[in-house]
Structure 1
């Protein structure tokens, strides 16, 4: 048995089932919010906004026509078409014609009235008893005939009895926001909300469902000249999932092709190229299997790990080939013993730096670090196990490099060193350090039709010079109404002070069981008086539509009184609309809220543009929302500041431990303080040159690109270890080291650049900027390590 465990093939058979299980478990995570820290209040608010309310999984269809009439006609026929597809669509919501709005809004108005202040309904009853109804109807007729206020005329036309006088202005604002707000001011642009008939919990299901919906709409559209665009959760899921698949296949493929071309250009041999490709693929398969067991998913932020890993571990094979060329007399064991110290030291240092990212506040970045570290360690094992067997004693003749001529001179390197550090100092003095961008733009997709459509929708539905933001008010369900009322007072004061343009709070939409019990008497009275009131409305000369509100609310209350009373939001006739504004009970618990908690959705408008609020005023609003209010601004606009503070805090906490680990590894590897200081100078020069380049190009750090600092520390020190150890072995023979180990390090560095450059095309702006920073930083480090570092060491040793 002991003999079997010494066989690599037997060990491989034992671990094979684990890797297969990992591959089966591995899935693509398309949720952008899953890559962000769930404990941050602003992230919680976004998740709650999406998961806590009905409509969180809706598809938003934006439609624009050449005129208002054509837009309304197109939307009406499209709704009729989709409503027939009950296999695809559960519910549709749109800006309906006025008569349909009155019918669909009756349930909501009935709910608001039964939860309003009983004293207000008592006043309404007193006004309508006896001859009072005739007096009120005459007042409404005069308003219709003489008032110059269009809103007052409309109100008197559909509510001549004044039933809605029992609701205050803020409640009516919330009601109007619930029923309307899906059409632009010019009437040309309209929005349709489509709820899927079945769950679309993964991107494959979302993509298939969206394809069916689009096919149905394409058949309906025919020759109509319309603009139709799609956004919402299904569109984002389908788009991001397909993007991850494309990024994974294209980045790995492009990286492989470029590495192959580079290898052929430098070594001109086919056989090593084939086995290197085989070992790279084996390393990736094993890494994906291990990643599936440990992580379980690949997110939009971690999908670039494969290209990074390929760029790093191919270095180990090339370094082994280079040692085999220089020492053709060694067998595989001897070659492994010679090459292993430098490769192991570099791999362990690189893996340690990437592993430090698991302490990042961004789960997506932590996942990226873990997967890269796994890939580096797996690749280290694979290359040390197999590469010496493929290379020892099998190199072509005349591959040993023999350098001739005088020793390398330091003059040009001294000038370059002065220019490098002098240039950095000049740039920092004149331009300054790169600024840190606190916006959340780096977390958004790079090219996203769904995101562009969402922005277009906000522009068309919003006011040109203001930005609207959702507010979530949370707390115990039985205290939610009080919290909303208290916050409404605060925000009303903010409107008067000019901080806000407007605010809409769903105060009277929040259930009040005590008010319902007290208002039952009024409801029973109104049901009894309904025939009389309808006759008096008709006798006063109003149109048939004028009794629509009375009939609507009475039609809601009649069956409601026969059931459990008081009602809760889930059992009310208005539940479909209430679910979009309130979350209590099971829905709140499904959104990870504690039992007994609830949340209400409000909105504010402040100066700015759609999607771009005035940052100073937004900060003031956030200061108003103290913890005791239980209120958060739920928008990407507030996310950047919170996450940037967290990321900078993480960097400050991680940088010193990382530097400490690197220093310890270097001391163990070199057993020389001078070589340790040279390594620090190498890293400082590379990172400083990167920062100077970013300042000159007017580029700043963002939430994702800051991760380039620990990544460059890991990859940069790897190159330094190989060059310094080679210099140590050859007695600082610069020409020899540059022609041998330097050639391998150049190949290694360029493959790393290739790996990072593939991130340019990632579907996430942050990952793309991370790839750019890593590429530029790696190129600077390569320049220093291949040219200047050997001269620095030679000069120090000579001194």
Structure 2
């Protein structure tokens, strides 16, 4: 029935070829117009999984309560010194804040600001407060002198007190060895024009700055348009340009980098698009070469390409009409369509060539091709469509939409192959086929495989069974970051932050009805061994405040008067600064001569002397490099010594709004203990917190839950695809044994594919796992071709035209899929790698294993000739 129906459709297209082509052209023009006016792609990766899931609803509820923390740009500012990092953050924060409300909704400092400048000491431990204030008191003579004259002249005066202090035995040269060495080295570098790194923090504390002291953060909430391919690109570029205009560049000791959900999504799309034109051109060229080897006729190739193009445009238009906007996964429909859809054109064309060799008459050969290839093509289209449609009921929306578009595309590809393709061929009138189309040279291989059928089946079974233990080592990479290129700034910066537990974005957030509920729940969570830190709004009220404030007030009483901002005074002239430097150098030189001298005293004398003899411009550069940081540090010290009691009521509004909502709900943030980059550790952490707080959300939970959702979706889709394909085969083949002969090689190919994944070290992930259901659809098409040919009595399958069609069809599909492997995007590349690998195993199972498994056909094939009845049927069809 299917054969007659397809033959009738082909005959109808042949009777009205121009109408068929005009109709196809009209549909194509309409489809192109629709795509141009309706094309849309969303890079919002949060929409790839259904929002109806419980964990997605918790995520959305939290994002709605604290929208300022979703869809953000994280600005990471690294300075060579703490002072440079802090001053750079202040400059950039001020500049970006001036651009609110467009293109930024808000700009927020994650740390620092006036509140923490004033009360930052209260958040240290009592011992740390005591140590910090003691260091400041020890530095009081230097601080007082320089506070009164914050210039290079004041620094020289302050340094002149050092030899006096040592001579009065209030200190030793050993006490000054490290800070003076740092200062001497910096001055020496600056005078000679070399880059210099100098920190007053290090000089005052006599300790190297911690990595956290060299880094600051801004959180920017941009205005996004998800209709754009890169919704945050404009905002990101404005941030980068502002940083450049402020001189916040590496050659000035500052590095500004962007990460966060917005830059990562933008740069991911850019990575996917990178090299797309070149890869596409090379893929098309390779496909054309393969088509030439398969079809040997420019006219037939032209007809196949036109048919494929028409099918692709119709699929694109239908896809946009069905889903509205493509996503980062469904956009791959084009590659899948070309890779799989071309199979129908090749199968029909090779069958036509075979019939043309037998019949010679063009129209009769085309109708015969439709009749003889109709059933396998229809079954292949139905099975492939079922494989893609199996994703529709799953919660993995990104792949579900891909399945809808690609599955519909298979129907379109089948229809164009039996209508437009024969209509084009009858008008193009390719020459006849004097030679056989198949590979008759492979007939001995057919006979060899038939003679040793049992031995080959046994060896195959043993080999596959021997590899089954490998499946225990099959891994699934649950980390979505590994699907992104670590060469782009946003991902590289994210990975850098992940190395530090204090900055790793792997915390869990919990939304509670009130601050009281948050405190009570936080107390329970703190008891979990999987938890290292729990933060609520109450955490911003420091402990031991009376004791800390007493220490700070004592230091303020001692230091305050000497650090007060002096009245406006005349700036020292360069000549005055030069004289002060020489005086200071003389003091160090005299000290170096006494009692055997000190190397550091001699070095300071030399450095200060050379600075005094330098040009005014050199002294100006040294002053700017050294004193700008001191002025900032002096401002911070003055603010810190004015600390006041902190209560919930006195917390700044920006902090309060970060932790509570207007209706009183409160946020809890929980950090993991142990390695935050270890997936097993994060899984234990997420499980433990969810057991106490079922409403929790956050990156560790989202990663685990999305992994469960994706894996569940593919298991569901795989099972549904297998069931639906089995039903289609049973309805068409009517024999359980024939259905098994079709499915067993397919399942064998799937097992071997997974075994090879282990051997080559290719883990499954959220992107490449799509290859497995696609394997069902593509693989079953090849198997159907062979089973139906076997049922018709074909005795030499390898030598037949069918094998030619299958091999070249697989080659074009492999080229299309393999082109993804060369993508700069790791997720896309891994998808292409697994698709190509699965295609190789599927082809081997179809061409080599299936004929052996089927054995001799039930009915020997009659000599290829056209009976009188067949001739009559062809004439009636035409």
Structure 1 match to 2:50 = 37
Alignment of 1:299-314 (within 5 A): 299-314=327-342
1:242 aligns with 2:245: no
Give CA deviations for 1:343-375 in whole Å, capped at 9, x if unaligned.
111111100111101122211111121121122
1:215 aligns with 2:241: yes
The Cα shift of 1:288 comes to 1.0
CA contact (8 A) 2:396 2:713 kept: no
Rounded to whole Å, the distance in 2 between the matches of 1:345 and 1:230 is 51
3-state DSSP of counterpart to 2:331: coil
3-state DSSP of counterpart to 1:472: strand
3-state DSSP of counterpart to 2:67: coil
CA contact (8 A) 1:349 1:662 kept: yes
1:576 aligns with 2:654: yes
Structure 2 match to 1:733 = 796
The Cα shift of 1:391 comes to 3.1
Structure 1 match to 2:116 = 101
1:56 aligns with 2:82: no
Residues 56 and 656 (structure 1), Cα distance of their counterparts in 2 relative to 1, 3 Å cut: closer
**In the alignment, which of 810, 835, 841 is matched to residue 749 of structure 1?**
810
**In the alignment, which of 412, 416, 422 is matched to residue 382 of structure 1?**
416
The Cα shift of 1:762 comes to 5.2
1:150 aligns with 2:190: no
**In the alignment, which of 765, 771, 781 is matched to residue 708 of structure 1?**
771
**In the alignment, which of 778, 782, 785 is matched to residue 843 of structure 2?**
782
1:675 aligns with 2:738: yes
The Cα shift of 1:24 comes to 2.9
The Cα shift of 1:94 comes to 3.6
CA contact (8 A) 1:252 1:307 kept: no
1:67 aligns with 2:81: yes
3-state DSSP of counterpart to 2:283: helix
1:340 aligns with 2:374: yes
Residues 668 and 698 (structure 1), Cα distance of their counterparts in 2 relative to 1, 3 Å cut: same
Give CA deviations for 1:604-641 in whole Å, capped at 9, x if unaligned.
241114676724641552343343xx3x1401x33343
Residues 89 and 675 (structure 1), Cα distance of their counterparts in 2 relative to 1, 3 Å cut: closer
Give CA deviations for 1:453-512 in whole Å, capped at 9, x if unaligned.
12213435728xxx674332235xxx3223212211202323xxx4422221224889xx
The Cα shift of 1:553 comes to 9.7
Rounded to whole Å, the distance in 2 between the matches of 1:262 and 1:692 is 29
The Cα shift of 1:743 comes to 0.6
Residues 191 and 547 (structure 1), Cα distance of their counterparts in 2 relative to 1, 3 Å cut: closer
Rounded to whole Å, the distance in 1 between the matches of 2:24 and 2:857 is 47
3-state DSSP of counterpart to 1:408: helix
Structure 2 match to 1:759 = 820
Structure 2 match to 1:394 = 430
Rounded to whole Å, the distance in 2 between the matches of 1:14 and 1:785 is 36
Structure 2 match to 1:176 = none
CA contact (8 A) 1:45 1:634 kept: no
**In the alignment, which of 303, 309, 313 is matched to residue 285 of structure 1?**
313
Structure 2 match to 1:506 = 537
Residues 386 and 720 (structure 1), Cα distance of their counterparts in 2 relative to 1, 3 Å cut: same
3-state DSSP of counterpart to 1:795: coil
Residues 468 and 603 (structure 1), Cα distance of their counterparts in 2 relative to 1, 3 Å cut: farther
1:351 aligns with 2:385: yes
Rounded to whole Å, the distance in 2 between the matches of 1:412 and 1:667 is 30
Alignment of 1:419-458 (within 5 A): 419-429=459-469, 431-437=470-476, 439-441=478-480, 444-447=483-486, 448-458=488-498
The Cα shift of 1:651 comes to 4.5
Rounded to whole Å, the distance in 2 between the matches of 1:33 and 1:306 is 23
Residues 253 and 619 (structure 1), Cα distance of their counterparts in 2 relative to 1, 3 Å cut: same
CA contact (8 A) 1:435 1:700 kept: yes
Residues 216 and 715 (structure 1), Cα distance of their counterparts in 2 relative to 1, 3 Å cut: same
Rounded to whole Å, the distance in 2 between the matches of 1:384 and 1:238 is 42
Residues 218 and 280 (structure 1), Cα distance of their counterparts in 2 relative to 1, 3 Å cut: farther
Structure 2 match to 1:194 = 220
Give CA deviations for 1:14-68 in whole Å, capped at 9, x if unaligned.
8965774455333111122211232444444555565633143432222223332
**In the alignment, which of 503, 506, 510 is matched to residue 473 of structure 1?**
510
The Cα shift of 1:325 comes to 1.2
Q: Which runs of 5 or more structure 2 residues have no equivalent in the other structure?
A: 1-14, 137-208, 542-552, 565-638, 861-878
**In the alignment, which of 274, 279, 285 is matched to residue 257 of structure 1?**
285
Rounded to whole Å, the distance in 2 between the matches of 1:42 and 1:645 is 11
CA contact (8 A) 1:732 1:790 kept: no
Rounded to whole Å, the distance in 2 between the matches of 1:397 and 1:460 is 70
Structure 2 match to 1:24 = 37
Rounded to whole Å, the distance in 2 between the matches of 1:15 and 1:277 is 14
Rounded to whole Å, the distance in 2 between the matches of 1:366 and 1:307 is 16
Residues 741 and 151 (structure 1), Cα distance of their counterparts in 2 relative to 1, 3 Å cut: farther
Residues 307 and 48 (structure 1), Cα distance of their counterparts in 2 relative to 1, 3 Å cut: same
**RMSD of the TM alignment (CA)?**
4.2
3-state DSSP of counterpart to 2:43: coil
Residues 764 and 50 (structure 1), Cα distance of their counterparts in 2 relative to 1, 3 Å cut: farther
Structure 2 match to 1:362 = 396
Residues 598 and 688 (structure 1), Cα distance of their counterparts in 2 relative to 1, 3 Å cut: same
Q: Which runs of 5 or more structure 1 residues have no equivalent in the other structure?
A: 110-142, 158-182, 511-534, 558-572, 586-596
**In the alignment, which of 629, 634, 652 is matched to residue 698 of structure 2?**
634
Residues 269 and 580 (structure 1), Cα distance of their counterparts in 2 relative to 1, 3 Å cut: farther
3-state DSSP of counterpart to 1:30: coil
- How high is the TM-score relative to the length of structure 1? 0.73
CA contact (8 A) 1:504 1:602 kept: yes
1:482 aligns with 2:516: yes
CA contact (8 A) 2:62 2:511 kept: no
Structure 1 match to 2:261 = 233
Give CA deviations for 1:287-337 in whole Å, capped at 9, x if unaligned.
111111111122222222211110111111111211221122351444433
The Cα shift of 1:686 comes to 0.9
Residues 324 and 29 (structure 1), Cα distance of their counterparts in 2 relative to 1, 3 Å cut: same
Structure 1 match to 2:784 = 721
- How high is the TM-score relative to the length of structure 2? 0.67
Rounded to whole Å, the distance in 2 between the matches of 1:278 and 1:14 is 13
